[in-house]
Copies of this chain bind each other. A is one copy, B any other.
Amino acid sequence: MSAADHHVPEEVYRGLTESVRRLVDVTIRSEADAATLTAVRATIDDAAEELGRAPLADYFGNQPASDGSSRAWGNVVMGLRNPFAPPLIVHHGADGHAWADVVLGAAYEGPPGHVHGGICALLLDHMLGATAHEPGRPAVTGTLTVRYEAGTPLGPLHAEARIDRVEGRKVFAVGHLATDAGVTVRADGVFFRQG
């Protein structure tokens, strides 16, 4: 990455990412006719060409933030620059418990009208992992078990996770996804703290 890149304010990245996320949503849902879709495609190709005229990083990983911490830019669950990320904003309680509220639209579909079971697993892996992370000491997933108790409709979703117990570098975490109607998916996982 060039040093120049750091002069781009985060709001610019956030705004562009939001716009592309919205484009993805209407790309899936639009009932426009073939002529409109073809014309829009040409516009999108021009936009991609314009972005591609600058150097392209292989991937972005974590970038230093102005406060000395690092931020995940490319991360598919919460990356600032990744339109696939809903994004999931994880909140941490004082007791190590973590939660997030998110709204999943048409882009996350599996069974008609429902969140793909694998997307539920993606969110739960991320939530459970978030409880195991410590500053400067990331944790990697060892095993994740996901139990599907009910279908998860597209729409608003609440996610929670907490540490069940710690044995040396192994962190045992549990969590669930829920709608207003109750829990739909539960998970437990074993995470390994690094370093």
- Chain B residues near A146 (CB, 8 Å)? 121, 125, 141, 143-146
Q: CB-defined interface of A10-31 with B at 8 Å, one 1/0 digit per residue?
A: 0011011101101110111111
B154 touches A59 (CB 8 A): yes
A4-B33, A29-B56, A29-B59 given; A75·B148 CB < 8 A: no
Q: CB of A82 within 8 A of chain B?
A: yes
- Chain B residues near A36 (CB, 8 Å)? 50-51, 53-54
A116-B76, A143-B146, A145-B145 given; A47·B56 CB < 8 A: no
- Chain B residues near A8 (CB, 8 Å)? 33-34, 37
Q: CB of A167 within 8 A of chain B?
A: no
Copies in the complex: 2
Return 9 A-B CB contacts under 8 Å, by A number: A8-B34, A20-B23, A29-B60, A58-B106, A58-B113, A74-B109, A74-B112, A116-B125, A143-B146
Known A24-B82, A62-B112; further 9 A-B contacts with Cβ < 8 A: A15-B38, A20-B23, A28-B60, A30-B51, A32-B54, A43-B50, A77-B118, A82-B106, A117-B129
